[in-house]
Amino acid sequence: MQVTMHEDIESVLYSEEDIARRVHEMGQAITADYADKAEEGITVISVLCGGAVFMTDLVRAINLPIAMDFMAVSSYGNAAQSSGVVRIIKDLTHEIAGRHVIIAEDIIDSGLTLNYLLDILAARNPASIAVAALLKKQVPNQAEVDCKYLGFECPNEFVVGYGLDFAEKYRNLPYVGILKPEVYKK
Ligand code: IMP
Ligand code: MG
């Protein structure tokens, strides 16, 4: 049996072109804001696996020397709702003390993951920390997250693609979309 992905998508929220345009703008804003900080060192951190697709596009839109590093924290599992439970599965490879850190995140939902990460990373004495998130969901009771660079405010739906998964699938879709309800029931 042939298994492909596009048939599982009910609607596309942000097309490949929408995302490319926005990520490019975010990269330009970061380039302007950090041009005078590059000498001290800039590290762009991606939170695996969801943030990886966004991060690799974002760094190519930044016209400054940067280091890349990766962290993995537990997130959704296979459920479509945030558990709020986060733990470090993989830590950074390099030190961030004295460096300017930019966290590239896929989505801010409850906000718990990012706030947890911000606390951990702030304790390592970086020169500064900022968040760049592709999406921020409009949800009630979202924790306050200081997000300096935001791609899109997205509706309160479970979305997949461009790094975001359902049960580890659909991360490699080039757009962000909403799954057909029957896919959850498979
Ligand atoms: P939080 O609720 O802000 O802590 O979000 C934690 C993580 O849940 C995010 O980094 C995503 O990996 C994942 N997540 C949140 N909303 C969605 C979604 O709509 N689709 C896929 N993953 C999501
Ligand atoms: Mg994530």
Task: Give the chain's residues under pLDDT 70.
Answer: 1-2, 75-85, 186
CA distance 52 to 70: 8
Q: ∠ CA(13), CA(81), CA(68), 5° rounding?
A: 70
pLDDT at 174: 98
Q: Is 92 exposed, middle or buried (0-12, 13-18, 19+ CB in 10 A)?
A: middle
Question: Is 106 an annotated catalytic residue?
Answer: no
pTM, entire model: 0.92
Residue type present at position 66: I
pLDDT of residue 85: 58
pLDDT for res 62:
98
Measure 103 CA to ligand 1 centroid, in angstroms: 15
Residue owning the nearest CA to atom 7 of ligand 1: 75
181: helix, coil or strand? helix
Task: Give the pLDDT of residue 49.
Answer: 87
Residue 164 Cβ inside 6 Å of ligand 1? The answer reads: yes
CA-closest residue to ligand 1 atom 5 = 109
Q: In angstroms, what is the span from residue 126 Cα to ligand 1's centroid?
A: 25
Which ligand 1 atom sits nearest the alpha carbon of residue 142?
3
pLDDT at 77: 54
Q: Strand 100-108's sheet: what is its strand order?
A: 88-90, 67-73, 42-48, 100-108, 128-137, 149-154
pLDDT at 28: 98
In this prediction, residue 21 carries a pLDDT of 98
Annotated active-site residue in 69, 106, 109, 165? 109
Q: How many CB atoms lie within 10 A of CB 89?
A: 11
